[in-house]
Amino acid sequence: MASDALTPHDPRVTHHFTTIPSTPTSESITYHYLLANPNSSSFPNGPTSTVLLLHGWPDLSLGWRYQVPFLLSLGLRVIIPDMFGYGLTSSPSSPTEYSLKKLSAHMAHIIRQVTSSTEKPFEPVLLGTHDWGAFLGWRLAIYYPELIKGVFAFCIPYTPPEGEVTSLEEHVRKHPELGYQLQNAGGDIDKAVAGDRKKVRGWLNAMFGGVDKEAGAMAFDPWKGLDLGKLDEVGASPLVGEEIMDFYVDEYSRNGIQGPMNWYRTREINLQDELPLAEKYANWQFQVPVMIVMVGHDPALPPELTDGMEKYFAKGLRKEVVPEASHWVLIHTPEEVNKLVGEFLEQFL
């Protein structure tokens, strides 16, 4: 594994907060994000560009811990938010606040705040995404194309806006390998781990590849989810070390997990938002270079999901697969990830 990774209190990043102003339908909210700038002695003219990294579920900004030092070595400034509902970012209880349309506006606010100067109102950024962060990233690039100059996404292909609203239950009937999403949306996990640090740890270990010690099998099953009665019996994650896991447990014990789970309660909200876009974007093409990286060991998200994606990308689509990696490719095979990212970013540097 790559040896250089951020730690929970790493001096290479600074912590920042920004307030998203209130709207007629939403109260003001606060985002926490990490900001890392390249070494000024190595890059005396300042950052060569800016990268925004969007993590997925159930992760935090430190989910990109192996990529940030590498990106800094390329002279890039890096922004890594705790996504909505996570970490030190606001965590409203209503799922309506978690629509991809609203969250895209949040990301646009952060981009403009960090990259604006007296000479120009904003600087387009390079966008790196994983899991739910990729779902958001694709929509961010649709809603605010002027803010994005390139995308590298992991595990989640682009799909255009749909012309009808279907429920999560209907979606899972067509894709039973996503059955865990019904459990996530239902609320039972929120209740099972609420206020219990040991169960929070068991849940996180399960999500990051931990084994049910009694059954001798992976504790998380994409078709079914988790056996909530066995969270205390999940072994340690083979991918997340003790220091990082302790930090994650602290973060998820603060506000609970309702906020992260709310992302799974937005299917109909998002589809309703996108109905006006369906016809316009049916054959729409991204006008920036894009790379999508899939993995060989993710039963819910196999590489063939990217078949036919090329038609949506006017500047070309680079498709890669990391055969030995699980869904947690960013931390499972970080050296391979950094190699692919570096090759893709050469055109911008």
User: Is residue 131 annotated as a catalytic residue, yes or no?
Assistant: yes
**Distance separating alpha carbons of residues 151 and 213, to the nearest angstrom:** 39
Considering only CA atoms, which of 301, 294, 328, 87 is closest in space to residue 206? Answer: 328
Structure token pair of residue 28: 């003001």
Buried b (16+ CB within 10 A) or exposed e, 269-289: bbbebbeebeeeeeeeebebb
Name the active-site residue from 131, 212, 298, 332: 131
SS3 label, residue 297: strand
What is the residue whose two structure tokens read 């036919």? 308
Q: State how far Cα 249 lies from the chain centre.
A: 18
Name the active-site residue from 32, 55, 327, 332: 327
CA angle 264, 268, 269 (to 5 degrees): 85
User: Is residue 227 annotated as a catalytic residue, yes or no?
Assistant: no
Considering only CA atoms, which of 162, 163, 165, 159 is closest in space to residue 286? Answer: 159
Q: Are 144 and 108 in contact (CB under 8 A)?
A: yes
Counting DSSP H helices and E strands in the chain, the numbers are: 12, 10
Considering only CA atoms, which of 79, 102, 83, 81 is closest in space to residue 23? Answer: 102
CA angle 279, 127, 75 (to 5 degrees): 155
Q: Which residues are catalytic?
A: 131, 327
